Amino acid sequence: MPLLKPSLALAALLAVTSMAAAAAPSSRAIHLEAEKATLSGPVVAAARPGFTGSGYVTGFLNGSEKMSLTIPNARAGLYNVRIRYSAQTIKGYDLVVNGVKTSAIFAPSGEKFASQDAGNVELRNGVNTVEIDYGWGHYDIDSIDLVPTTVPRLVMPPAATVDPKASAKTRALKAYLVGRYGLGTLSGQYDAADNKYLRDVAGKTAAIFGGDFIEYSPSRIAHGSKTKHETENMIAAGKGGQIVTMSWHWNAPAGLIDKMETDSHGKPVDHKWYRGFYTEATTFDFQKALADPKSPEYALMLRDIDTIAIQLKKMQAAGVPVLWRPLHEAEGGWFWWGSKGPEPFKKLWRLMYDRLTNHNNLHTLIWVYSSGTDPKWYPGDKYVDIVGVDQYPSDLRDTETGVWKNLLAQYAGRKPIALTEFGGVPDIPAMQRVGARWSYFVSWTNDLGPKKNSKDEVKRIYSSPAVINADKLPRAIR
């Protein structure tokens, strides 16, 4: 679910690729010194030691400030971008190549200059432009290198499910996803209205259909929330030939603030019960509950998990496997299950895995982890089938290669990587050209769903050979 926040993984933080080594391409590398840029706001300085050339660019103090460089005679091809920078703390920035923006993050480098892999870009023959725009500002830029590169072969992860007792159909689904990994990206869409919109606009049905168990949370039911037959609708989608993925915006089991409050600026803040999955709307301390398995709070967590298990059992009985994506975006801290840091989160994830798999005998779940990119939050290979990330780029042409390479550096050969939420429809053909070969994507809803793209763009992407829609799924997993 999108928030007014930086994306969880706007770019790689000191990412290195762990794909198989590729042969060195023959095109020319390009080195750009920042002090030679056209500056709109920032200035050239030479106070910080360790810079190359005759100086570096500093400033970036307000939203309109940027630096622009021109490459007069590039050779068309794929290039890896490396930025030499300095930042005291984590700082967001925008890399703009030929008008296409990638929002990214610099890791802290202290007083020194560091080099960051900013992902891959395509250059055209002749003149190309490269900009660094403000983002969050307050960083220094020393130089930018664009090095010709190729797209190496993916190292395949195991096809087996983490649940050794997974049903035959669930195992077949996981094996299919691994078998297609790197060859094509499955399309996906949350919400029935947007699912229909895709059919109307593109004449295609997404391979994956997403739902949410939010209204089944006991603390929402207690306030009169209606489930709207979500489970039955998702079973129908599964029976109708789509793969089902389920999220759970878990309303806190207890401690709902349930009132309007005022923030430090005197503005009203909605902390009513229906926002109880947000950290700010509950006092529930799940870390404390986990520390005492005999506590009433621990029992409430088990009650809630068992309540959702009832719905998952209906899907299991109907023969519908689920790409199960609980406890998402924990790294951001805006949901209560991420409010206490990595260790309590991992403990909660493992508790949920054990409760659903062993206590409730659910063996139709493919476990999808989408907390973020920081490895400290990862629950472990024994509890995760697929690693995902949620992205909401401001420019839909952003190929997200920085994020891809960061995740690939961590999980290559271990887990498939997916875009588990996306604001709009990602440009999968462009992503594949630059090497970001996601297992699947699932677009969000309404104005942050396919309506964010033009209708022509939706048609183009969904008609691409790089995209696998429902009509291309094999019978064995339908």
The confidence score (pLDDT) of residue 14 equals 39
pLDDT at 8: 40
**Which pLDDT score, from 0 to 100, does residue 112 have?**
96
User: How much is the pLDDT for 2?
Assistant: 53
Interval 180-215: pLDDT, tens: 999 999 999 999 999 999 999 999 999 999 999 999
pLDDT at 7: 41
Burial 189-213 (b: 16+ CB within 10 A, else e): bbbbebbebbeebbebbbbbbbbbb
Q: How far apart are CA 205 and CA 128, in angstroms?
A: 38
Q: Is 33 a catalytic residue?
A: no
Catalytic residue among 33, 131, 230, 329: 329
How confident is the model at residue 19, as a pLDDT?
A: 28
From the candidates 33, 230, 400, 421, which is the catalytic residue? 421
pLDDT value at position 477?
Answer: 86
295 phi and psi angles, rounded to 5 deg: -80, 155
Supply the pLDDT for residue 476.
Answer: 85
Separation CA 73–CA 63 (nearest Å): 30
Determine phi and psi for 235, rounding to 5 degrees: -60, -40
**What pTM did the predictor assign?**
0.92
Q: What tokens were used for 469?
A: 């829609």
329 annotated active-site: yes
Identify which of 412, 408, 444, 410 has the alpha carbon closest to the alpha carbon of residue 426: 444
Task: Please name each of the domains of the chain with its CATH number.
Answer: 30-148 (2.60.120.260), 168-477 (3.20.20.80)
DSSP labels for 8-24? TTSS-SS----SPP-PP
Helix-strand-coil split of the chain, %, nearest 5: 30, 25, 45
Beta-bridged to residue 144, according to DSSP, are 32, 83
d(CA 418, CA 184): 12
Q: Is 140 helix (H, G, I), strand (E, B) or coil?
A: strand
Separation CA 171–CA 156 (nearest Å): 16
The SS3 call for residue 63 is coil
Task: State whether the Cα torsion 459-462-465-466 is positive or negative.
Answer: positive
64-94 pLDDT, tens digit each: 999 999 999 999 999 999 999 999 999 999 9
Q: Coil, strand, or helix at residue 53?
A: coil
> Consecutive sets of 10 residues in the chain, 478 residues long: mean pLDDT of each?
44 35 55 98 96 97 95 96 96 96 93 95 97 96 97 95 98 98 98 96 98 98 96 98 98 96 92 96 98 98 99 99 98 97 98 99 99 94 98 95 94 98 98 97 98 98 98 91
Distance, CA of 159 to chain centre: 22
